[in-house]
Structure 1
């Protein structure tokens, strides 16, 4: 394992570009660990409709960064009280959606700090039923990134102010608000810790889990590549916002794999635009399904025929073809 030093960068667009650059360009002979702390920002899941996840007026007023990440899952709020960790490793065909494997060493570090931390639900680390970390994954095929947040001393009020949380998500989990589910790690510590101290303790704890880490500093040429990716992708409006479609049919449902939200524009009986949003995790980009269904007839038999050879679990996790087609044609609720 090689620890990548991000040189104290706090711009979320740059840190996400750094993470992806490592994933796509660094040697597959090694595994990598990256830590970063972001300025106030909302990090949008790959498959989400940005404008429906955020309080646009509030984030503009507060100058909160809005950035889409490459992994699935839901929108999260970052600030200087939040430590982000990222493991970049080989994808062996079994590791994707295996959150237990990658959270286990982090949980052990938290337990050593006196927290009763454990993995619960799909991808959350909790202490006494309070979420203190969320994780997500993304795969390029041969390599993958498993990353997550550690809420040390985040301004939890801003989570509510900056994010528009869908009622279906709140009701499905039986909670009245996001604030009731989320807690800071600092609430469970006997002694307060600054974020830099916490970062060092987590790093030292992870050292104990493996052979001694090498610390790597990017070259000037590598940083140039990171900045280029930041400019071309993570500062691009189309990447961060541009998936908001024209639609006249909306179908959404929460499955065990997460919420799937369909926006379909039908004209003269044909699907002219088909967009898929949600906080699910999958290893393949849903744009492929969107393209398959575009310009096809909006009828069950046609859609079933188009999808019959598609392995939907690659895109959403474990969901049946029947359930997905039922969602496309389900009754409005």
Structure 2
């Protein structure tokens, strides 16, 4: 495995561009590890409706970055007290949604440091039932990213202020505040250490769990390409916020795989526009599913016929096609 040196950059748009560039352009016969720390920012899941996830007035006042990532899942708050890790590997057909495989070495290092961490739920690392890390994945087909946050010394008071937490998410996790459900790793360490020391110990621990690492520094041309990707994608309002669709039907439900929020515009009895939002994880872009539904009569039989040869699990994970159809049209 090769460790990618991000040279201390803390701009989230640049770090996410670096991560995607490495995924798409680095040697496909090699596994990579990337660490990065971001300035205060909200990182939005690929399928989320940004404006409904953030406290716009607060982030404007505090000049907090808002950036969409390529992976699914929910919105998270980053600051200089949060360490992000990213494994870039080949996609073998079994690794997608296998969060245990990629979190296991991180959890082992945390346990070796005296932090009793464990993977729980879909994709969270918890200590004493408090979340210290969330993870997500994205696949290009051949290559994949498995990345996550490690709350080391994050300002928890900012998390609730910057994020607009939905009632459905609060209810699914019990009636606890966001602040009471999350914790910093530093709270569980017997001896206080700095972020730099924590990063170093984590890297050493991951070295020991793998083949000897080498560190890779990007060339000047590679950095130029990363900056170009940032400018052409991660700097753009269209990517980070996107257009709010016109709709006259909204259907929303939280499943074990996450929340699915549908905005459907039906005109003259046919679906003319549909947008799928949510914090779910899937192997395929939901835009493919949206496009299949455009032009279909808003009729349960017709919707079922349109989706009969579609693998809904590719878009949402473990979800029955009938459950999705019921959400689109309503149950009988």
Q: CA deviation at 1:212?
A: 1.2
Structure 1 distance, partners of 2:208, 2:114, is 17
Is structure 2 residue 86 aligned with structure 1 residue 86?
yes
Q: Deviations over 1:3-33 (max 9, x none)?
A: 0000000000000000000000001110000
In the alignment, what sits opposite 2:308?
A: 308
DSSP 3-state at the match of 2:178: coil
Unmatched 5+ stretches in structure 2: none
In the alignment, what sits opposite 2:131?
A: 131
Is structure 2 residue 215 aligned with structure 1 residue 222?
no
DSSP 3-state at the match of 1:47: coil
Alignment of 1:140-219 (within 5 A): 140-219=140-219
Structure 2 distance, partners of 1:198, 1:294, is 50
Q: CA deviation at 1:42?
A: 0.2
Structure 1 distance, partners of 2:83, 2:127, is 17
In the alignment, what sits opposite 1:121?
A: 121
Q: CA deviation at 1:147?
A: 0.1
Alpha-carbon contact 1:49-1:243 (below 8 Å) kept = no
DSSP 3-state at the match of 2:135: strand
Structure 2 distance, partners of 1:175, 1:46, is 26
Structure 2 distance, partners of 1:304, 1:235, is 39
In the alignment, what sits opposite 1:107?
A: 107
In the alignment, what sits opposite 2:246?
A: 246
Deviates more, 1:220-229 or 1:289-298: 289-298
Residue-pair matches, total: 331
Structure 2 distance, partners of 1:27, 1:158, is 38
Structure 2 distance, partners of 1:246, 1:156, is 35
Structure 1 distance, partners of 2:243, 2:313, is 22
Alpha-carbon contact 1:259-1:280 (below 8 Å) kept = yes
Q: CA deviation at 1:266?
A: 1.1
Superposition TM-score, scaled by structure 2 size: 0.99
Q: CA deviation at 1:175?
A: 2.9
Alpha-carbon contact 1:296-1:302 (below 8 Å) kept = yes
Alpha-carbon contact 1:73-1:278 (below 8 Å) kept = yes
Q: CA deviation at 1:330?
A: 2.4
Q: Deviations over 1:287-323 (max 9, x none)?
A: 0011111122111111111111110000000111110
Q: Deviations over 1:173-227 (max 9, x none)?
A: 1132111110000110112221111111100110110121010000000001100
Q: Deviations over 1:90-140 (max 9, x none)?
A: 000000000000000000000011011000000000000000000000000
In the alignment, what sits opposite 1:30?
A: 30
Structure 2 distance, partners of 1:112, 1:330, is 50
In the alignment, what sits opposite 2:274?
A: 274
Alpha-carbon contact 1:116-1:127 (below 8 Å) kept = yes
DSSP 3-state at the match of 2:181: coil
Structure 2 distance, partners of 1:36, 1:56, is 25
Structure 1 distance, partners of 2:188, 2:276, is 39
Structure 2 distance, partners of 1:226, 1:34, is 14
In the alignment, what sits opposite 1:42?
A: 42
Alpha-carbon contact 1:175-1:181 (below 8 Å) kept = no
Structure 2 distance, partners of 1:244, 1:112, is 46
Superposition TM-score, scaled by structure 1 size: 0.98
Q: CA deviation at 1:250?
A: 0.6
Alpha-carbon contact 2:17-2:229 (below 8 Å) kept = yes
Alpha-carbon contact 2:298-2:329 (below 8 Å) kept = no
